[in-house]
Structure 1
Amino acid sequence: MKQIIIIGGGAAGFFCAANLDEKKYKITILEQNSDVLQKVKISGGGRCNVTHACFDPRELVQFYPRGNKELLSVFTKFQPGDTMEWFENRKVSLKIENDNRAFPESNSSQTIINTFLNEIQQKNVEVKTKCSVKEIEKQDQKYLVKTSLGDFEADFIIYTTGSSPKSLKMIQNLGHKIIDLVPSLFTFNIKDPLLKDLAGTSFEMAETSIPKLKTEESGPLLITHWGLSGPAILKISAWEAINLAKVKYSFEIEVNFISKDIDEAEELFQNFKQSNPKKTIGQSKIFEVTNRFWQRILEVSNINLNKQVAQISGKEMQIILENLCKKKFNVTGKSTFKDEFVTAGGVDLKEINFKNMSSKLLPNFYIAGEVLNIDAVTGGFNFQACWSEAWLIAQDLNNFKLK
């Protein structure tokens, strides 16, 4: 019986094992940590954001700053609808939330983990934890995998290690080119009087732009203890991951907290002024922001909160609107977004055959997951790439004509 060694017990490795034909192969998963599926466990705040309800591959690839061209063919073969069906067939109900993210009905990542563990148990897949791979040697038709638990011989290798520098070095030693790793999906560290002590304040729709990079994104925004987060920030961090690393995470960002241009905002303000002249500005609900945030805007604009709306001068109104719609912040660093650390960089995509995720350089060697130079914005997309790539590998091996 031919031996498949899967290096890495994460999302891609397990999904691949769960779809392989156990009658054809002996399958072993090697995982260096004491627990498998660690990222699945913590994803989505412990609920596991399994995928995203976007069922058109052409639309789906728009969420991948790196890998979008290559993934188009992959997603035409296995996309989020197939993922959902795969879980439904195993009695795992998924629900689609308002923002199109898909989670297990149970709201627990353990449901997903148990499903995988159950699948591989039925297939008699051997899982070796605390098994650190030191080196992979190519030997004639086979591979020798040297580990902390001894040597393993493999006819096929599936490399799903995630993006640790050590695992990238190992595959580089086998001849693959590695694109340098940089963080993707991170929050921006900002110290500014406008944000001080307002952690937890959120905005349903904001616009963010980095003028220097001529880039902009929109979406929900969140003030944190360190600065700014939320999709409007995370999307820009993913698309500009490489450029932001080059400027060492020190740059200027412009934020429009209300997603209205200044002229439109001014019109709303003038209308409010006419219909509520006697109201104090501090208690006026002109825009869709929290009272605390509105009062902070007035403070940093040097406006007396007790002033009547009618007495706000044209100049004062402009200062308020500038702070609301065109506020510039100096970003001085980054923070990891929760525990869902994602990196840009990894194995060069030119060296991968995306029909089956095989290496173009190494025979009988497949690569999937975050070890590749593929990453996505937040929302279940990184997992979907893992599921789709792993499924392709399993299909290729299941249809492989063994000599």
Structure 2
Amino acid sequence: MKKVVVIGGGAAGFFTAINAKELNRDLDITILEKGSEVLQKVKISGGGRCNVTHACFDPKELTTFYPRGQKELLGPFHQFMTGDTFEWFENHGVLLKIEDDNRVFPAENTSKAIVDCFLKAVDNLNISVLKNHGVNSIYQHDNKWIVNTKNKQFEADFVVLAVGSSKQVWKLSEALGHTVVKPVPSLFTFNINDKRIVDLGGISVPKAILKIEGTNLEHTGALLITHWGLSGPAVLKLSAFGARILADKNYQYTVRVNWLNQDAKEVFEILQELKKQNAKKQLYLKSPFNDVPRRLWERLVIAAEIKSNQNWADVSNKQLQNLTNQLTQSLFNANGRTTFKEEFVTAGGIDLKEINFKRFESKLHKNLFFVGEVLNIDAVTGGFNFQNAWTGGFICAKAIAL
């Protein structure tokens, strides 16, 4: 009987083990978890609801959500992707639902549905799950893999590393000759202390343009003001695609914000027309742009050096130009970052050039596999990191089992 040791008691580890056993019941599979509990990230993800995947059903389009791994995942996504994820979970008793923003959750609206599904499956398949088994060493001996924990030694025909961002396992991988791309945080919000947005936490605009000055990083999307700065989909995508650039800047950089997603010349002309139409009205009191909430409008007006009691007729062209600049190219100095909710995703891990993505197997060592965020693969928020785990886990399981 072939023996398989899966290192990592998270989503990628469980999914790999379950699929391998279902494809080949003769496999003897053991999952090793360093901590006292398994599937912890699944439990807390998506605010405790588990954002299982994203309703994008085109492999090429799906890859565009991965700053690292876009090229490498195209082939794997043709083997197993979103539609297969739906089918897999429904076949295992978990119905999924698509929300308005295309994020996918269990129909029961709780991560417990996914956790229970996995725990039931490993129990039914007689897969051993051992907690408090942190791995101290991995090496080959007589064509077998030897895995040592503080509690026990395991001999295996196949080893799967599915531990997420584990410094210890990265070190063990380096000892086996693999290259580890230095990890840096991804998916974070921008820490900004600026009087234009202080105390405006919760205010959002639906479609802003954000650009990091001095780089090619730019994104258009929803923008949220928080108590510590700027967040929302636009910021998170910039943080993911700019993870290494922003780390190199020590998280000190300038963000240019176009709150209206409109050309500056066009906005100036709109303001001039508003001046004609509302001559006797106070400019400060009401935002003429539906996408700019009143409280944000008031701050931008003051920043443009327009007094709160000025009528439109009394506003000079210079002041209108200042206001145009505030609306279309506000500059904010970022200093630091904040983790997005409970999510902690890193850019970094095993160098992708050293992996055979037809099997998710090491190119350096036969029967050594890497799945999930242990690889230098990460995605924007919205269920994409889990989809990487499901895809890699299934392909790896198939390679082991068949």
TM norm structure 1? 0.96
The answer for the alignment partner of 1:233 in structure 2 is 235
Task: Map Cα deviations across residues 64-121 of structure 1 (whole Å, 9 max, x no partner).
Answer: 1111111000000001111011112223221112221111122211111111111111
* Alignment counterpart, residue 263 of structure 2, candidates 261, 264, 287: 261
- Could you tell me whether the CA contact under 8 Å between 1:7 and 1:160 is conserved in 2? yes
- Could you tell me whether the CA contact under 8 Å between 1:4 and 1:25 is conserved in 2? yes
2:139 counterpart of 1:130: no
Q: Distance in 1 between matches of 2:361 and 2:26?
A: 19
The answer for the alignment partner of 2:141 in structure 1 is 139
Q: Distance in 2 between matches of 1:268 and 1:111?
A: 52
Report the more deviating stretch, 291-300 or 387-396: 291-300
Say what the alpha-carbon RMSD is for the aligned residues: 1.3
- Could you tell me whether the CA contact under 8 Å between 2:213 and 2:253 is conserved in 1? no
Report the more deviating stretch, 335-344 or 18-27: 18-27
Q: Aligned-pair distance for 1:306?
A: 2.5
Q: Aligned-pair distance for 1:310?
A: 2.5
Q: Distance in 2 between matches of 1:220 and 1:153?
A: 51
**Partner SS for 2:104:** strand
**Partner SS for 2:154:** strand
Q: Distance in 1 between matches of 2:14 and 2:287?
A: 52
Q: Distance in 1 between matches of 2:9 and 2:139?
A: 20
* Alignment counterpart, residue 77 of structure 1, candidates 76, 79, 95: 79
**Partner SS for 1:207:** strand
How many pairs were matched up? 399
Task: Map Cα deviations across residues 21-69 of structure 1 (whole Å, 9 max, x no partner).
Answer: 3522111100011111111111111111110111111111111111111
Q: Distance in 2 between matches of 1:274 and 1:104?
A: 54
The answer for the alignment partner of 2:90 in structure 1 is 88
**Partner SS for 2:224:** strand
The answer for the alignment partner of 2:165 in structure 1 is 163
- Could you tell me whether the CA contact under 8 Å between 1:268 and 1:286 is conserved in 2? no
Give the AA of the match of 1:51.
T
- Could you tell me whether the CA contact under 8 Å between 1:199 and 1:223 is conserved in 2? yes
2:20 counterpart of 1:17: no
Q: Distance in 2 between matches of 1:110 and 1:270?
A: 56
Q: Distance in 2 between matches of 1:266 and 1:99?
A: 33
The answer for the alignment partner of 1:273 in structure 2 is 275
Q: Aligned-pair distance for 1:283?
A: 2.1
2:211 counterpart of 1:209: yes
Q: Distance in 1 between matches of 2:199 and 2:147?
A: 53
The answer for the alignment partner of 1:390 in structure 2 is 393
Report the more deviating stretch, 293-302 or 328-337: 293-302
2:3 counterpart of 1:3: yes
Give the AA of the match of 1:148.
K
The answer for the alignment partner of 1:292 in structure 2 is 295
Q: Distance in 2 between matches of 1:385 and 1:104?
A: 18
Identity %: 50
Q: Aligned-pair distance for 1:2?
A: 1.4
The answer for the alignment partner of 1:311 in structure 2 is 314
Give the AA of the match of 1:373.
N
Task: Map Cα deviations across residues 128-174 of structure 1 (whole Å, 9 max, x no partner).
Answer: 11111111121111111110221111111011011121110011111
The answer for the alignment partner of 1:358 in structure 2 is 361
**Partner SS for 1:20:** helix
The answer for the alignment partner of 1:283 in structure 2 is 285
The answer for the alignment partner of 1:50 in structure 2 is 52
**Partner SS for 2:348:** strand
Q: Distance in 1 between matches of 2:278 and 2:107?
A: 47
- Could you tell me whether the CA contact under 8 Å between 2:272 and 2:320 is conserved in 1? no
Report the more deviating stretch, 308-317 or 373-382: 308-317
Q: Distance in 2 between matches of 1:90 and 1:375?
A: 27
In structure 2, stretches of 5+ residues that fail to align are none
Give the AA of the match of 1:7.
I
TM norm structure 2? 0.96
Q: Distance in 1 between matches of 2:265 and 2:254?
A: 23
Runs of 4 or more consecutive aligned structure 1 residues displaced over 6 Å after TM superposition: none
Q: Distance in 2 between matches of 1:384 and 1:320?
A: 44
Listed as ranges, the matches of 1:342-381 within 5 Å are 342-381=345-384
2:323 counterpart of 1:323: no
